Amino acid sequence: MNMKSLLRIAHDVLYFMFVTTALILFHTIALMEKLLKMYIITKAELKAMDMSLTVSYGRMKIFLLKYRESLRPIYLVKNNNLLFPMKAEGKQ
């Protein structure tokens, strides 16, 4: 092997490492932006549904049941129209 082929191999290896690192960073940043955007949307929806955002154990207005495929929570609201598998307060 001569010097030109060794330099070519070193160049290809460094280029491959640079490209893979750039792709990993790009995907990580895109995922973080997506998660941040989803968190902001979820918090805005929470504020739109109930401005107080207080959760007391006796009278719970909003709480998270489970996540859907898009990681957006399902909110259950008492004393409003949205009631899911919960029983109403004081009623069996």
> What digits encode the pLDDT tens for the residues 34-78?
766 666 656 666 555 554 444 444 444 444 444 343 444 445 555
More confident residue, 73 or 9: 9
Mean pLDDT of the chain: 62
Q: Is the dihedral of CA 77, 80, 56, 86 positive or negative?
A: negative
Q: Does position 83 have pLDDT exceeding 70, yes or no?
A: no
Looking at residue 60, what is its pLDDT?
45
